[in-house]
Amino acid sequence: MEAVLGVEVTEVDRISGSVANQDFRVDLADGRRVFVKTGPRSELRAEAWAIGRAAAVGVPVPKVAGYEERVDLTPSPFLVIELLRSDGDLSAAVLRSVGHALRLIHTVPVPGYGPVDVVGDPLAPESVSGRYDSWRGFIESMIDNIDELIRADLMTTDVGDSIRRLATGIDGSPLAGETGVLLHADLKRDHLLALDGSLTGIIDWGDASSGDPAWDLARASMMGAGDFESLLEGYPGAGVDEVARILPTYRILWNTRALSYEYRAGGDWFAEYQRRIASDLDHL
């Protein structure tokens, strides 16, 4: 990392990350404190690229200080971003700002659908596109994971059959346009930073995707009714009944995908995903 940033590292502290990432808080000799993430190349490329695109439309995000994946310099790809200050107070006003920021994010067109694949340097990529040709294709891809989850005793056959029925024939919500748009795809409280009553950053873009804006709204709705209502106040048109009706289905599919990812990555954080799936199925 010193070779990439051109400055001496003075202290490194490991901090909690996800099942697929290792995260570090790093102090540099020039006085900066940065956040360093190692993990799957595809996700780090997506994050570095998405941060730049979000910043370009006025969304508060951390600055990318460096990205490296060359095997002669590092055994594992890593992303360096500058740390943003936060007091953790996500007031209703801050959440309204999140809604406004999300609306800006959803103005960025991205070809294809689903998780974005970035070819080449993510700060100056050769190409960027979602992995699927259609939104329906991305949604129905989640069916492919169900048998594996049933065999692993992480899902019952009845639940799996219900999810298969839900995932069939979905083309998107009224918010979806003719092309996919940039999605954060994991918008939750832990990924929002605020200071003195203002939104200072939306972080953790490793799941960046292309698709229906309602997918982001479904994930955000898991923050709780009060928080989500405040967010919707900052996102005109997102609170209409036609959008609200698809959110439970999207939540079920999001949690199914997350459950499969956790299992394949060797994690054990299954219970919350299973609880959310069961709760939404019970209320459909």
Q: Rounded to 5 degrees, what are φ and ψ at 175?
A: -80, -15
Crossing angle of helices 247-264 and 271-283, in 10° steps, is: 160
Domains (range + CATH), the chain = 2-134+171-245 (3.30.200.20)
What pTM was computed for the model?
0.95
Task: Check whether 1 has a pLDDT greater than 90.
Answer: no
Tens-place pLDDT, residues 244-281: 999 999 999 999 999 999 999 999 999 999 999 999 99
Crossing angle of helices 92-105 and 225-233, in 10° steps, is: 60
Alpha-carbon gap, residue 68 to 75, rounded angstroms: 10
Tens-place pLDDT, residues 133-165: 999 999 999 999 999 999 999 999 999 999 999
Tens-place pLDDT, residues 15-41: 987 777 889 999 999 999 999 999 999
Close Cβ partners of 36 (under 8 Å, ≥ 6 residues apart): 1, 23, 24, 25, 26, 78, 79, 80
